Amino acid sequence: MWKTVLRRILLMIPQIIILSLLVFFVAKLMPGDPFSGKINPQTDPKTIEALKHQLGLYDPPLVQYGHWIQNIFKGDFGQSYTYNRPVLGLIGERAANTFWLGLLTAVLTYAVAIPLGLIAGKNEGKWPDRVIAFYNFVINSVPPFAIYLIFLILFSFILKIFPSTGTVSASAHGFVQIFFSRIYHMILPAIAMMLSGTTAIVQYLRSGIIDNTKEDYVRTARAKGVPEKVIFRKHILRNAFLPIASSLGGTITGLLSGAIVAESIFSYPGMGQLFLQSVNSRDYSVMITLTLLFGILTLLGNLLSDIIMSIVDPRIRIQ
């Protein structure tokens, strides 16, 4: 198994290098320079020129790329122009918020999708299956941002059940209160994001159960008198769960891309909202770092899928 993992990691390296090259050259196309905000109209143009030379802005692009990568390994992602502080710390704070929202969403997603998939698969063609298929279809057809928007308007503004902004209320004190206040602030975006996450899992589980029920080994088990319950639990379910295990990494990717839209609609101060704010204020160093970060996180999500797959399904291990 370790061979498989190692191979995957080796395959990732060229991808990361190309991604970072692309991100770097897009960054080069952006107007402005690292001094924006630090100099004023009275600064002598010669001083600026000297500073530019000193920072290596006139070096060949590949040399500049090398410097940029070196700085990244030192943990220096540059300075945020709007917040006037290092990018790393700024993103770190927001990343924690996105992480908690993502975790809650993922827990809710599996808690809802697995029972739905089980019910649909066991009752193929009967009314529970059809109701779940309808739910799946509707959620899949409506663009996610419209679902978020409808949730926000309905539950935060018309029914006023959930708060519409922030992560924690100012009046909360002590660990327990802050903990519940956080969850209370996250629950609406988490439910809205959960909905679009469930459809694929429900679909996989349902068809996994239906397909595996027709397999020869299930017939063999029946023929030798294994009780139905055991057949379902040990033979059908184990195989039906395989694609779900592999979708775990995809869930991470889905949560990240959902975060950009969801966080901006629910005014939740995570990385997605920070990204849109940095685009609007032309805060390029933040934009660039976040794009690179999201790309690498997607890669790690894929790697996680592969590792999980090779643990649960020995057949796909590469020799």
Footprint of other proteins (CB under 8 A) = 15, 18-19, 22, 26, 29-31, 137-138, 140-146, 149-150, 153, 157-158, 164, 256-257, 260-261, 264-265, 275-276, 279-280, 282, 287, 290-291, 294-295, 298-299, 302
| CB nearer other proteins, residue 26 or residue 111 | 26
Distance CA 128, CA 116 (A): 9
| CB nearer other proteins, residue 49 or residue 215 | 215
Question: Least distance in Å: CB of 22 to other proteins?
Answer: 8
**Residue type (1 letter), 240:** A
Question: Least distance in Å: CB of 220 to other proteins?
Answer: 23
Question: Least distance in Å: CB of 47 to other proteins?
Answer: 27
Q: For residue 84, give the 3-state DSSP assignment.
A: coil
Question: Least distance in Å: CB of 156 to other proteins?
Answer: 10
| CB nearer other proteins, residue 50 or residue 138 | 138
Question: Least distance in Å: CB of 4 to other proteins?
Answer: 16
| CB nearer other proteins, residue 117 or residue 295 | 295
User: Six-digit token pair at 271?
Assistant: 């990385």
| CB nearer other proteins, residue 51 or residue 297 | 297
Q: What phi, psi does 227 have (nearest 5°)?
A: -60, 145
User: Which stretches of the chain are DSSP H helices?
Assistant: 2-29, 45-55, 61-73, 87-122, 127-141, 144-151, 174-213, 216-223, 228-230, 237-240, 242-265, 271-280, 284-312
Per the rule left: phi > 0, alpha: psi between -120 and 50, beta: everything else, 37 is left
